[in-house]
Amino acid sequence: MEENMQPYETPQGPYASNSTNEQRRTAKKWFIVVIVLVLLAAGGVAAYVLKSHNTTSQTAEAISTTVSTVTIQQGGFVPATIKVKKGQEITWTNQDSTPHHITADQSDLASFDTADPLQTGDSYTYIFDKTGTYHYYDVTDPKTYVGTIIVE
């Protein structure tokens, strides 16, 4: 009689107990919830890192409220776009080996003009006393040397 006895086995398949299946389903649900939360957190961290990297990177078109100097370099104005407060002065300094004559659209800033080209090392300072967006350029190369000033 003992030869025919089989060890007790837990029922599997459609006859398994409902509580075991329910526990497995609950565990799977929690596992999925945890995975989704981890992915959302990772995405949030990635977005924050990318955003902070983009706002701190320095490019030729950087916008800053503290910049009061523009350098004239081979290839353009650096930075090409500046945001300043009304009444702030900006100084352009020619660090290029060629002279540059900067001016603005006369309807926007009739008094913004270097009069004579700036030689290497020369500077030009202008105080922006009206709010608005102003575009300026180098008369000798208006396609390469262009800039924008945003006065708040």
For residue range 14-61, list pLDDT tens digits in order.
555 566 778 888 888 888 888 877 777 776 666 665 554 444 334 434
* pLDDT score of 7: 58
The token pair that represents 144 in the structure block: 């390469």
Point out the least confidently predicted range of 48-57, 70-79, 95-104, 137-146: 48-57
Task: Provide φ and ψ at 43, rounded to 5°.
Answer: -65, -40
Mean of pLDDT values over 91-98:
95
Q: Which residues contact 44 (CB under 8 A, 6 or more apart)?
A: none
* pLDDT score of 26: 83
* Torsion, Cα of 137, 79, 48, 151 (10° steps): -60
- Specify the higher pLDDT residue, 64 or 9: 9
* pLDDT score of 10: 54
For the chain, give the mean pLDDT.
Answer: 78
